């Protein structure tokens, strides 16, 4: 059965691949599962039909027959559990890979989202610089710990896993920032992930939504 995911009809980042459908597309490409995409506008996301699928009115969602899921982390885990390739077979290694998915989403991403919210909502405030210093300090603490743990390894824990996929999705939010540039091993880690054929196919597919829309505009 071909699953259907949702993505933004109008890419807020002009195809930079920061929206969370990118993580789901990438996981589907890694396991070789074809998928359909339904594009939704910002207005449609807040309508009852979409809210029935996603109570918080966001993307991505995932539909497979009667099953409807939301939350990119949960969707990536579901894909990884249905197909070989994104989680180790060994029970302990599998639990550790899933731990990195949660670490990416609950420990590393929140201060990064906080920085984005500050850039968006507070950049005209007189206290913006002072507050941003605190937010970036919390990101620095997380990245230093992460860089120390990764060291010279290619991936977090043996072979590439869903943990790496979700974590790279989070770190890509900092692309071009001094925060990430302070850790050459993290820069190399993200580049290594972005060089994977599955990443490239997923990135091209989400970019095409943006370029096609603008080609006909």
Instruction: List interacting residues with a copy of itself (CB under 8 A).
Output: 51, 55-58, 66-71, 73-75, 77-78, 91-92, 95-96, 98-99, 101-103, 105-107, 109-110, 113-114, 117, 121-122, 125-127, 130-131, 134, 138, 142, 145-146, 148-149
| Measured distance CA(127)–CA(118) in Å, rounded | 11
Least distance CB 107 / a copy of itself (angstroms) = 6
Least distance CB 135 / a copy of itself (angstroms) = 9
DSSP 3: -
* Strand arrangement, sheet containing 36-40: 36-40, 4-8, 61-64, 67-70
**Beta-strand (E) ranges in the chain?**
4-8, 36-40, 61-64, 67-70
Lookup: tokens for 47: 């309508």
Least distance CB 83 / a copy of itself (angstroms) = 14
Give the nearer residue to a copy of itself in terms of CB position, either 11 or 58: 58
Least distance CB 10 / a copy of itself (angstroms) = 21
The radius of gyration computed from the CA coordinates of the chain, to the nearest angstrom, equals 18
Give the nearer residue to a copy of itself in terms of CB position, either 15 or 115: 115
């Amino acid at each position: 059965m071909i699953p259907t995911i949702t993505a933004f009809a109008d890419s807020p980042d002009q195809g930079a691949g920061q929206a969370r459908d990118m993580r789901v597309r990438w996981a589907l490409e890694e396991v070789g599962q074809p998928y359909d995409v339904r594009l939704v506008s910002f207005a449609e996301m807040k309508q009852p039909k979409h809210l029935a699928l996603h109570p918080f009115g966001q993307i991505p969602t995932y539909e497979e027959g009667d099953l409807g899921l939301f939350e990119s982390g949960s969707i990536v885990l579901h894909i990884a559990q249905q197909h070989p390739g994104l989680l180790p077979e060994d029970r302990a290694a599998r639990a550790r890979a899933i731990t990195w998915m949660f670490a990416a989403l609950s420990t590393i991403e929140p201060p990064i989202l906080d920085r984005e919210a500050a850039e968006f909502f507070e950049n005209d405030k007189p206290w913006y610089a002072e507050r941003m210093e605190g937010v970036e300090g919390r990101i620095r603490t997380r990245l230093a710990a992460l860089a120390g743990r990764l060291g010279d390894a290619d991936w977090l824990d043996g072979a590439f896993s869903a943990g790496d996929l979700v974590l790279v999705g989070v770190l890509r939010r900092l692309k071009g920032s001094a925060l990430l540039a302070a850790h050459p091993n993290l820069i190399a880690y993200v580049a290594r992930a972005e060089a994977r054929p599955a990443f490239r196919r997923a990135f091209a597919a989400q970019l095409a939504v943006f370029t096609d829309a603008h080609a006909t505009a």
